[in-house]
Amino acid sequence: MYRNIINELVRWKESPDRKPLILLGARQVGKTYILKHFGKTCYKNVAYINCDNNAKVKDLFAEDYDTDRIILNISAITKETIIPGKTLIILDEIQELQRGLSSLKYFCENATEYHICVAGSLLGIAMRHGESFPVGKVDMVRMFPMTFDEFLRAKEYDTMADLLIKRDWRTIQGLHSTLIQLLREYYFVGGMPSAVSKFVTSNDANAVRKIQKSILTAYSQDMSKHTTTSEMKRISQVWNSLPSQLSKENKKFVYNVVREGGRAKDFELAIQWLIDAGLVHRVARVSKPVMPLKVYEDFSAFKLYLLDVGLLGALSNTPAATLLMPNNMEEGKGMYTENYVCTQLAASIDQSLFYYSKDTSNLEIDFIIQQETQIIPIEVKAEENLQSKSLKTVLQNNAEMHGVRFSMSGYREQERLTNVPLYGAGVYFTKD
């Protein structure tokens, strides 16, 4: 299946300042697949090693950091002739090898002729206590679940995906109803590659949900594997509370929803674990819609969104028909729509996501981002109701701003406001 990240990998390959690459991401987002595909299509050969529970490589870096010795061993293990610039070396689950991450520093300094990519879960790398991270000696790329345009390509709607990437809104308007139905499918399936693949090959909603549940089970096993029993319980409580958190009108994370009487100090580490694992997106509140947004971050107020909208449906046990059928989801449609928009923005822009609210009123902007010197307020509407008192107020009070509204309605330019159909959320802010 095509993944947009291949373009970043090609740019890395061609960069004169290339360093060893770490491909980061939550488990099961497709890191191994894309690295193998990249190697197969862009190199003469691939030397691939899975470092997880592999006795052949457990001492690969234990003796020293002699890059000539390491390359010789990798060649012997993989039975591949390693040619500088023509062979892609892939070390999968690098965090499982002692001193594996540290070794990348020496490849950067002493063996720049070799092309080395390593893959690791965000959690695994974050948990490598006692091992120095090669700061400044590696390139890093973050991988997310499949975006909506990637979902379209998986379903062989390449022309529609191309039109979205080009933002050809006039032509897209004629495909509006088809794209809306495909978007509903994406709300159910989400972007986890195994779920998308099963949906494309089987068109079986029950089979897709079974895969989603298995992914959730794997994440739960990670919670128990990497933490103490008490920590795991708190992480699980936060994780399982997310559908309830997001079903609230303002979506703000409330500790009392996790557990009656819950306080920040009880769950701060649990929340950070979920962030480190890449399982949630933390969207903090800003007290003012003013540049730079980071200065006005309120660390006590935030929202947590799941990494994938399909997993949100599985975690909340929402029936497939509720998500797939039009006009069949009255309760909770805002929850799925906001989570969807969050995942598309996170994957497409290299900026932190915030939201804005005012303590003295009901004013709230769903998302607000900073692009260079521009502050952009973003309103999310689950259907075609375009009334937005909060966005209107913010634009009235900030003459230099231009707002964006994502909704089920078609593309239109209005005075200081652009309405973008929800299926365009992942491409609207991407650079040409």
**Same domain, yes or no: 84 and 57:** yes
* In-domain check, residue 328: yes
301-343 pLDDT, tens per residue?
Answer: 999 999 999 999 999 999 998 888 776 555 568 899 999 999 9
| Average pLDDT of the chain to the nearest whole number | 92
Q: How far apart are CA 127 and CA 131, in angstroms?
A: 10
pLDDT surpassing 70 at residue 287: yes
- What is the extent of the structural domain holding 360? 148-424
* In-domain check, residue 429: no
- Residue 177 — pLDDT band, cuts 50, 70, 90? very high
**Same domain, yes or no: 320 and 395:** yes
Q: Which CATH number belongs to the domain containing residue 84 in this structure? A: 3.40.50.300
Cβ pair 160, 404 in contact under 8 A: no
**Same domain, yes or no: 185 and 284:** yes
**Same domain, yes or no: 207 and 129:** no
Q: How many CA atoms lie within 13 A of 220 on its CB side?
A: 12
**Same domain, yes or no: 118 and 243:** no
SS3 state at 46 = strand
Using the 3D structure, point to which of 108, 126, 142 is the last residue of a domain. Answer: 142
pLDDT surpassing 60 at residue 127: no
pLDDT, position 432: 64
Nearest CA to 169 out of 377, 419, 384, 378 is that of 419
Q: Give the mean pLDDT of 4-13.
A: 97
Rg (CA), the chain: 23
Nearest CA to 212 out of 196, 233, 228 is that of 196
Using the 3D structure, point to which of 142, 160, 184 is the last residue of a domain. Answer: 142
Higher pLDDT, 361 or 122: 361
* In-domain check, residue 1: no
Cβ pair 24, 120 in contact under 8 A: yes
Angle at 161 between CA 155 and CA 164, to 5 degrees: 150
Percent pLDDT > 90 in the chain is 78
- Residue 122 — pLDDT band, cuts 50, 70, 90? low
Angle at 312 between CA 309 and CA 318, to 5 degrees: 115
Q: Give the mean pLDDT of 79-84.
A: 97
Name the domain count of the chain. 2
**Same domain, yes or no: 51 and 174:** no
Which residues have CB under 8 Å from 318's CB, separation 6+?
312, 332
pLDDT, position 30: 96
Residue 418: burial class (beta carbons within 10 Å; 0-12, 13-18, 19+):
middle
CA dihedral sign of residues 147, 96, 132, 71? negative
**Same domain, yes or no: 174 and 288:** yes
Q: Is the pTM of this model over 0.75?
A: yes
Cβ pair 46, 88 in contact under 8 A: yes
**Same domain, yes or no: 152 and 187:** yes
Cβ pair 375, 403 in contact under 8 A: no
Using the 3D structure, point to which of 90, 123, 142 is the last residue of a domain. Answer: 142
185-196 pLDDT, tens per residue?
Answer: 999 999 999 999
